[in-house]
Amino acid sequence: MGSIAIIGAGNVGQAITGHMVLQGHDVRLFSRWEKDFQEIIANNGIDLSGDVEGHANKPTLTTDLGDAVVGADVVIVAAPAFAHAYLSERLATLLEPEQLVVFQPSVLGSSVELARHFALAQRTPCLIAETPTSLYTCRLRGPAQVYIGAIKQAVQLATIPHTSSQDALDRLTQYFGDRYTAGSDTLSVGLGNCNAIYHVPPAVLNIKTVEDGDTHPHHTLVTPRVAEVINALDQERLALAKALGVKTPSFWEFLESAYGVTDGSHVERITQGYGRQAFPEPDSLTHRYFTEDIPFGLVIWSSLAKQIGLPLPLTDSFIKLSGIICGTDFEAEGRTADVLGLEGLDATEIKAAFLDGLTPLVTA
């Protein structure tokens, strides 16, 4: 059995933790806040239902990041995107070259950000990997009770350096089987995070139901016309990938690989992919569909596109409109080319940074 550290005690963090405990691994669960552990302690573990059933006994719980990750074979970052910058700065001082860290899921640039912090700290990096989406489609449905609607059939994984993906896949097999598959590089995999594509248009275009807290199943907000907006936003993401010299799956190809959905209209495919889980729409303007998918999804796409002279009018419109709705400057708060040390690079140089984690600021 292996030793695995899970960073983040939310939906995904608790799902992975419970599943790994049931498989007999040594599991450490980290959160910055003791309160995140109260329900797990009271329940003496985590109850899982859905694709995984059972009561997982309480793992090692810690608010000390060093205690969580030092000596762990694999470190899974399952924290929200807005925590990645803080965690990367800390992890770069703690992780050793023989360890593997996986952003699961990543948002575009998470691996580059960690590699950059290793370089700034003048330390040899560990093997860094990322996925475009979580392997687990899950939600907390009660205190320390996680419903796993699906463990996806296949999720791409890429590494920095890009030549080491097979090493990461081999090391992850004992934990997750063969559900991870090799992606070409962290640029194409990072751009493959489709959360903003599916989450943002239905939420923004049905904003009254969000403000009213109706909590309709999110997939039911996708009408034929909303689906066309989703598709148009996806086309801009694919255009960015092409301009940066990589290929990434369309949202509809993602539904096929993750959930086996191949037939029907756009609305029908979304219903087939997400109808089983029926997870609710956002119930407030501080929901992660706004606070994560826009500043760490749409904003970094827009920032890189502007740098290489590619217009993304629909993406920019959603950023602007959502900022007004939420009363937030998402561009000021979000991940940008400047934040990643990529400012001033052309498309070829940006791609190179995602292949091996190098930036001019670090290598100068």
Check residue 276 and give its pLDDT.
Answer: 85
Average pLDDT over residues 143-158: 95
Q: Write down the domain spans for the chain.
A: 3-191, 195-333
Contact between 191 and 246 under an 8 Å Cβ cutoff? The reply is yes
Residue 23: pLDDT over 80 = yes
Write down the pTM of the prediction: 0.92
User: How far is residue 195's CA from residue 199's CA, in Å, rounded to a whole number?
Assistant: 6
Tally of helices (H runs) and strands (E runs) in the chain: 18, 12
Strand 155-160 to 180-182 pairing: parallel
On the CB side of 135, CA atoms within 13 Å amount to 29
Q: What is the CATH number of domain 195-333?
A: 1.10.1040.10
pLDDT digits (tens, 9 = 90+) for 215-272: 999 999 999 999 999 999 999 999 999 999 999 999 999 999 999 999 999 999 999 9
Residues with Cβ < 8 Å from 359, sequence gap 6 or more? 112, 116, 119, 340, 341, 342, 345, 353
CA distances from 338 to 87, 119, 305 (A): 18, 17, 13
Q: Which has the higher per-residue pLDDT, 22 or 358?
A: 22
Check residue 141 and give its pLDDT.
Answer: 94
On the CB side of 52, CA atoms within 13 Å amount to 28
Check residue 363 and give its pLDDT.
Answer: 45
Contact between 153 and 178 under an 8 Å Cβ cutoff? The reply is no
Do 3-191 and 195-333 show the same overall fold? no
Average pLDDT over residues 277-298: 95
User: How far is residue 197's CA from residue 218's CA, in Å, rounded to a whole number?
Assistant: 13
For the chain, the average pLDDT equals 95
Phi, psi angle pair for 61, to nearest 5°: -115, 135
Residue 179: pLDDT over 70 = yes
Check residue 1 and give its pLDDT.
Answer: 87
User: How far is residue 295's CA from residue 229's CA, in Å, rounded to a whole number?
Assistant: 19
pLDDT digits (tens, 9 = 90+) for 312-357: 999 999 999 999 999 999 999 999 999 999 999 999 999 999 999 8
CA distances from 256 to 17, 179, 186, 303 (A): 27, 14, 21, 29
Can you read off the two tokens belonging to residue 57? Answer: 């006994």
Label residue 277 by pLDDT band (50, 70, 90).
confident
Residue 360: pLDDT over 70 = no
Check residue 359 and give its pLDDT.
Answer: 54
Check residue 364 and give its pLDDT.
Answer: 42
Domain 3-191 has CATH 3.40.50.720: yes
